[in-house]
């Protein structure tokens, strides 16, 4: 290969594969050294240096110059294979470095094919893997469809980079809020907590130190435009936006939204919050298969027991009745003791 062709090849690989030119030069030098060593059948050190500006190749064995044109077809083929391998490794490293920095962020791609239950997504320079376990259960994708996912893991596998994606991870919803609500990346609104059961419900607690900012309203958007975009991306998943509060007596009832709460009793010794709701709000507070109270408990970090106003009233009546019965029993016991004392006095007489 002449000098101009060599420089042109390096330039093409740099532009098309985004591989640093010096890495390409080093790969070619390593390949030529390997081929020269096989041709000369020597264990002596061989050095190959390519001028980065002119493309001039200097090949030396000790202090003796080597004519690379004498390598022969087989050794030249060996050099070609080494160059291809080095370029693949360099390309892999470029992709790895790019996506390892994007771990935990959203990427967009097109459904390319299906490998069993796993969806292979074309990300442009490489492919991403969306396993069945990371797919939202009520979603169905088709070839050519554009989807957004969060990058959960990036690892090197041989000469390839394996990028694992997810649509069920809690951080996927967090990232969607950061994209749709500019006040969040600007630190005007802060996400204090987020819990999720993918495909069904998400609860997100938000807060703002700015007195003039409605943190819940900022997340909802004008006429609900911001939250609608997020819900559409999640295929109709329910999202409860909750105002965060330092006071647990305020925050715990908030976590049970949309249910109405009329009372709360905190038991710090066992980390249990007993919440009182109207009779007609019980099923809403518990949620389908206990989902609402389960997510509320995770978000608050407390166990939550829910009772109705009627149950609370019955409990109070039971306690009052118990207290009255106990007083009567004590009265009867005192009366019996007095009778015994009177009897003893009569015997003594």
* All structural domains of the chain: 3-100 (3.30.1480.10), 106-166 (2.40.50.140), 170-244 (3.30.300.20), 248-325 (3.30.300.20)
Tens digits of residue pLDDT in 174-231: 999 999 999 999 999 999 999 999 999 999 999 999 989 999 999 999 999 999 999 9
Tens digits of residue pLDDT in 124-145: 889 999 999 999 988 889 999 9
Q: What is the pLDDT of residue 2?
A: 64
Q: Identify the band that residue 344 occupies on the pLDDT scale cut at 50, 70 and 90.
A: low
Q: Would you put residue 251 in left (φ > 0), alpha (ψ -120 to 50) or beta?
A: alpha
Q: Identify the band that residue 337 occupies on the pLDDT scale cut at 50, 70 and 90.
A: low
Q: Pick the closest to residue 176 from 99, 110, 231 (CA basis).
A: 231
Nearby residues of 83 by Cβ (< 8 Å), 6 or more positions away: 27, 28, 31
This prediction has a pTM of: 0.74
Q: Pick the closest to residue 62 from 77, 72, 47 (CA basis).
A: 47
Dist CA 207 CA 246 (whole Å): 10
Q: What is the DSSP letter of 316?
A: H
Tens digits of residue pLDDT in 79-128: 677 777 777 888 888 889 989 999 999 999 999 999 999 999 999 889 99
Pairing mode of beta strands 106-115, 146-157 = antiparallel
């Amino acid at each position: 290969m002449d000098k101009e062709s060599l420089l042109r090849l390096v330039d093409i690989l740099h532009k098309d594969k985004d591989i640093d030119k010096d890495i390409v030069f080093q790969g070619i030098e390593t390949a030529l050294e390997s081929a020269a060593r096989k041709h000369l059948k020597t264990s002596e050190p061989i050095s190959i240096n390519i001028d980065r500006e002119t493309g001039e190749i200097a090949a030396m064995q000790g202090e003796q110059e080597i004519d690379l044109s004498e390598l022969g077809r087989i050794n030249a083929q060996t050099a070609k294979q080494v160059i291809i391998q080095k370029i693949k490794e360099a390309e892999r490293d470029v992709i790895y470095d790019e996506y390892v920095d994007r771990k935990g962020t959203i990427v967009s791609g097109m459904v390319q094919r299906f490998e069993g239950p796993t969806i292979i997504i074309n990300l442009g320079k490489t492919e991403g893997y969306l396993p069945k376990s990371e797919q939202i259960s009520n979603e169905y994708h088709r070839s050519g469809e554009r989807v957004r996912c969060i990058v959960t893991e990036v690892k090197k596998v041989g000469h390839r980079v394996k990028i694992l994606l997810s649509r069920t991870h809690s951080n996927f919803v967090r990232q969607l809020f950061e994209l749709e609500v500019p006040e969040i990346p600007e630190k005007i609104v802060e996400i204090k907590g987020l819990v999720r059961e993918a495909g069904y419900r998400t609860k997100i607690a938000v807060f703002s130190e700015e007195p003039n900012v409605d943190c819940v309203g900022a997340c909802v958007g004008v006429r609900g435009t911001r939250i609608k975009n997020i819900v559409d991306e999640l295929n109709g998943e329910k999202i409860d936006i909750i105002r965060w509060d330092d006071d647990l007596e305020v925050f715990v009832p908030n976590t049970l939204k949309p249910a109405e709460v009329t009372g709360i009793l905190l038991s710090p010794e066992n980390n249990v919050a007993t919440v009182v709701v109207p009779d007609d709000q019980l099923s809403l507070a518990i949620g389908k298969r206990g989902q609402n109270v389960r997510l509320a408990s995770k978000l608050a970090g407390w166990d939550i027991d829910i009772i109705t106003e009627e149950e609370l009233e019955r409990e109070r009546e039971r306690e009052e009745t118990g207290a009255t019965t106990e007083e009567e029993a004590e009265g009867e016991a005192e009366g019996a003791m007095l009778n015994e004392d009177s009897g003893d006095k009569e015997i003594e007489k």
